[in-house]
Chains A and B, each alone.
Chain A
Amino acid sequence: MTGLSVRNLSYAYGAKPALNDISFNVEPGVFCALIGPNGAGKSTLFALLTRLITSRTGTIEIAGHDLGSHPEKALGKIGIVFQQPSLDLDLTVWRNLSYFAGLHGLSGQAAEASIKSALDRLDMAERTHERVRNLNGGHRRRLEIARALVHSPTVLLLDEPSVGLDAAARRAITEHAHDLCKTHGMTVLWATHLTDEISADDQVVILHKGQVLRNCPCHELTRDKPLQEAFLELTDQGT
């Protein structure tokens, strides 16, 4: 069963196309970096993958569930970290997570165990009763990743999760996401502008002008040049 499958997906804002017939798969246990210049269609793709918007053209399958025909089943399998922060600043870390657990049908001891486990995994246990407003940017991001893991999803979607973080925090969450693939067999789709977050074994999907320009392992792009250079050349930004 494929972790994430996108087939012939198109989307347009009125007459302006944003995505044009894109297809790619991400297998379980694979970290897939989605890279593309501004306006490439990454945000539109994330909005479609999370069903904030829908398209009549193409299909999206998440852990074997068609997002169009079985949205509740498919959405139950994904953990999402949006680019824009989405925490309740006036509630505590625990309250933020228990709200999310409730939205995903978890309660009582099951919710408590899942929340504790997610916080432990992200080294956030000691912050449990702090108000989110008092956390720094790195901790807030880690909390958002912990939240995305509370309901034990099989697919993790992260839309530029490292934006605004310092180098250490960026490295920590990138390593953690890679670790989730290796140790939990999770499917990760990680949208980014920053090529240093991508490892040689990762799958890379380059999106450009609403189309998939490359879909291959990172090391295939970096045989004779760094990824950043290869990416700029492919997207005509190198000169």
Chain B
Amino acid sequence: MRASLLALRAIVIRDVLRFVHQRSRFVAALVRPLIWLVVFAAGFRGAFGPLTPPPHVTPISYEMYILPGLCGMILLFNGMQSALSLVYDREMGSMRILLTSPLPRWWLLVCRLLSSTAISLLQVYAFLLVAMVFGIHIPLAGYVSALPAVFLAGLMLGAFGLAMSSSIHQLENFAGVMNFVIFPTFFLSSALYPLAQMGESSALLLALCELNPFTHAVELIRFAFAGHVNWPALAWILATGAVFLGITFRQYTPVRSLR
């Protein structure tokens, strides 16, 4: 037990140090959602009119509407970034050092997941702080009640990244992931617009949005900001997170010869 926790601590310290050394990654993680919040929201504010998404009962501004989605965006990008980091580690050889440690492999992968989620949390709260400076803030209690929601959503999206990493064999393939995974996942969700509006255009797109675990991550955070729990979203996140983690464990099992 002690050895397992020491390994977790070692992995978290290493990943945080690597993150700190990559200042551009931290800046990008902040600037990307800020551009959406300040520029994109300014352009689209008028297009949507007043929005009253659950659990709200009175209309909220468009900036407030997309705030949970942008937190989700940070988690999604960071999940993919940690997948990229894992592919990099595999190509550079340092993954071997991790996998040959005297600990169960599933635990080593969970450690990587927890450490990438810890970094996601840092980024989300740094973004919320900057958003506050721009005058976009939620009730103070919302920052506290959102913590478990952001953490769970981060775990699920981190597990998604880990599952992806096991099928990406070269760093060059990561550009494809950006185009074919991150953007569809983000746009086929309730991050930027209510799903009802998507439903008016296409029933198929609406169904895809409703199935998308990222939609549920965004809604879990939206409810948590207002001090509520979205139970169906929570259940969906736990279920999909478990599936992604199961895929990861399976893919990282030592390759066994049939002979």
Chain B residues numbered 1-25 whose CB sits less than 8 Å from any CB in chain A:
2-3, 6-7, 9-11, 13-14, 17-18, 21
Taken residue by residue from 164 to 187, chain B's Cβ proximity to chain A (1 for < 8 Å, 0 otherwise) reads as 000000000000000000000000
Contact present for B101 and A91 (CB under 8 Å):
no
Contact present for A11 and B10 (CB under 8 Å):
no
From A55, A104, A107, B257 is in contact (CB under 8 Å) with A55
A10 at the interface (CB under 8 A from B): yes
What A residues does B140 contact at CB under 8 A? none
Contact present for B17 and A86 (CB under 8 Å):
no
Given contacts A75-B102, A105-B3, contact A53 B257 (CB under 8 A): yes
CB distance from A95 to the nearest CB of B (A): 6
From A12, A55, A76, A101, B10 is in contact (CB under 8 Å) with A101
**In whole angstroms, how far apart are the Cα atoms of A74 and B6 in the complex?**
19
Contact present for B94 and A88 (CB under 8 Å):
yes
Taken residue by residue from 78 to 97, chain A's Cβ proximity to chain B (1 for < 8 Å, 0 otherwise) reads as 10101011111011000100
CB distance from A6 to the nearest CB of B (A): 15
User: How large, as a class, is the contact surface on chain B?
Assistant: 20 to 34
Given contacts A11-B259, A95-B14, contact A103 B92 (CB under 8 A): no
From A17, A52, A90, A98, B96 is in contact (CB under 8 Å) with A52
What B residues does A54 contact at CB under 8 A? 254-257
What B residues does A104 contact at CB under 8 A? 3, 101-102
CB distance from B109 to the nearest CB of A (A): 13
B135 at the interface (CB under 8 A from A): no
Given contacts A100-B97, A104-B102, contact A12 B257 (CB under 8 A): yes
Given contacts A103-B97, A107-B6, contact A56 B17 (CB under 8 A): no
From A80, A87, A102, B6 is in contact (CB under 8 Å) with A102
What B residues does A95 contact at CB under 8 A? 14, 17
**In whole angstroms, how far apart are the Cα atoms of A102 and B14 in the complex?**
10
A24 at the interface (CB under 8 A from B): no
CB distance from A158 to the nearest CB of B (A): 13
B139 at the interface (CB under 8 A from A): no
**In whole angstroms, how far apart are the Cα atoms of A86 and B2 in the complex?**
26
Given contacts A10-B259, A53-B256, contact A99 B96 (CB under 8 A): no
B98 at the interface (CB under 8 A from A): yes
Q: Which of B6, B10, B94 has the most CB of A within 10 A?
A: B10
Q: Which of A87, A88, A100 has the most CB of B within 10 A?
A: A88
Given contacts A91-B18, A95-B14, contact A55 B7 (CB under 8 A): no
Chain B residue nearest to A51 in the complex (CB): B254
What A residues does B195 contact at CB under 8 A? none
CB distance from B242 to the nearest CB of A (A): 24
Contact present for A72 and B255 (CB under 8 Å):
no
From B11, B97, B102, A72 is in contact (CB under 8 Å) with B102
Chain A residue nearest to B97 in the complex (CB): A86
Contact present for B18 and A99 (CB under 8 Å):
no
B103 at the interface (CB under 8 A from A): yes
Chain B residue nearest to A101 in the complex (CB): B10
A73 at the interface (CB under 8 A from B): yes
Contact present for B96 and A88 (CB under 8 Å):
no
Contact present for A86 and B6 (CB under 8 Å):
no
Contact present for B256 and A50 (CB under 8 Å):
no
B202 at the interface (CB under 8 A from A): no
CB distance from B44 to the nearest CB of A (A): 39
A125 at the interface (CB under 8 A from B): no
What B residues does A99 contact at CB under 8 A? 10-11, 13-14
User: Mind listing 26 A-B residue pairs with CB under 8 Å?
Assistant: A12-B258, A17-B259, A52-B100, A53-B256, A54-B257, A56-B257, A71-B102, A72-B102, A73-B102, A75-B100, A75-B101, A80-B96, A82-B93, A85-B92, A86-B93, A86-B94, A90-B18, A90-B21, A99-B11, A100-B97, A102-B9, A102-B10, A103-B7, A103-B11, A105-B3, A105-B7
**Which residues of B approach A to under 8 Å, CB–CB?**
2-3, 6-7, 9-11, 13-14, 17-18, 21, 92-94, 96-104, 254-259
**Which residues of A approach B to under 8 Å, CB–CB?**
10-13, 17, 50-57, 71-76, 78, 80, 82, 84-88, 90-91, 95, 98-107
Ordered nearest first, which 9 A-B pairs have the shortest CB separation? Answer: A102-B10, A105-B3, A86-B93, A76-B102, A84-B93, A103-B101, A75-B102, A72-B102, A11-B257
